[in-house]
């Protein structure tokens, strides 16, 4: 079975990488798909986000890193995949994720969304938290891969 793990990954965190690693052991192939939503300009460019993901998953053979725009269901159909993986951190994630999973299932009934519970070590962690900590000079070295930590420092140094 092949799965898609979609998200903004702006930037990838150790929480995302934990989900990717765990998924790669359970499924034949994991497609990590970065949402390229033109109307919402991100913090890192899509190319930077893809590069961070590629660099940090290069040792996992069955992981593919890609980007998509438009509807996730159309991307899933194009890739011939009907399982979406989402990470669940806290109850606060549930409402949104539930709505999205139901909507996607309505539009594409064969599509199933599976939720993977976050590792307790990372259940507080989000990309936006990492960006905010970095903005004020906080140490994010145990929350993100090294290249992301350096890139964050450089971005805020230049700001």
> Which residues are the active-site residues?
16, 40, 89, 127
Residues 69-108 that bind ligand ADP (CB under 6 A): 86-87, 89, 93
Q: How far apart are CA 87 and CA 49, in angstroms?
A: 18
CA 38 to chain centre: 17
Does residue 49 belong to the site contacting ligand ADP (CB under 6 A)? no
With CB under 6 A as the contact rule, the residue among 3, 4, 8, 24 that binds ligand ADP is 8
DSSP 12: -
- Site of tokens 């034949």: 28
CA dihedral 45, 52, 116, 31 (to 10 degrees): 80
With CB under 6 A as the contact rule, the residue among 69, 128, 141, 154 that binds ligand ADP is 128
Does residue 134 belong to the site contacting ligand ADP (CB under 6 A)? no
With CB under 6 A as the contact rule, the residue among 52, 68, 75, 122 that binds ligand ADP is 122
Please choose, out of 8-16, 43-51, 58-66, 144-152, the segment that lies near ligand ADP by the rule CB under 6 A: 8-16
Please choose, out of 7-15, 23-31, 51-59, 133-141, the segment that lies near ligand ADP by the rule CB under 6 A: 7-15
**How would you class 139 by CB atoms within 10 Å of its CB: exposed for 0-12, middle for 13-18, buried for 19 or more?**
exposed
N-term to C-term CA, the chain: 44
Contact indicator for 116, 30 with CB cutoff of 8 Å:
no
Size, binding site for ligand ADP by CB under 6 A: 17
Note the residues at the interface with ligand ADP (CB under 6 A): 7-9, 13, 15-16, 19, 86-87, 89, 93, 118, 122, 125-128
């Amino acid at each position: 079975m092949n799965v898609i793990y979609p998200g903004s990954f702006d930037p990838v965190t150790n929480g995302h990488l934990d989900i990717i690693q765990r998924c790669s052991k359970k499924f034949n192939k994991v497609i990590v798909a970065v949402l390229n939503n033109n109307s919402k300009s991100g913090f890192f460019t899509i190319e930077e986000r893809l590069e961070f993901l590629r660099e940090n998953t290069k040792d996992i053979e069955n992981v593919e890193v890609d980007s998509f725009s438009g509807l996730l269901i159309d991307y899933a159909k194009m890739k011939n995949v009907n399982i979406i993986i989402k990470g669940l951190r806290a109850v606060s994630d549930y409402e949104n994720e539930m709505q999205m999973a139901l909507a996607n299932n309505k539009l594409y009934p064969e599509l199933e969304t599976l939720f993977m519970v976050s590792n307790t070590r990372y259940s507080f962690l989000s990309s936006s938290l990492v960006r905010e900590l970095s903005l004020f000079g906080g140490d994010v070295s145990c929350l993100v891969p090294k290249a992301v930590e350096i890139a964050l420092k450089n971005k805020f140094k230049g700001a």
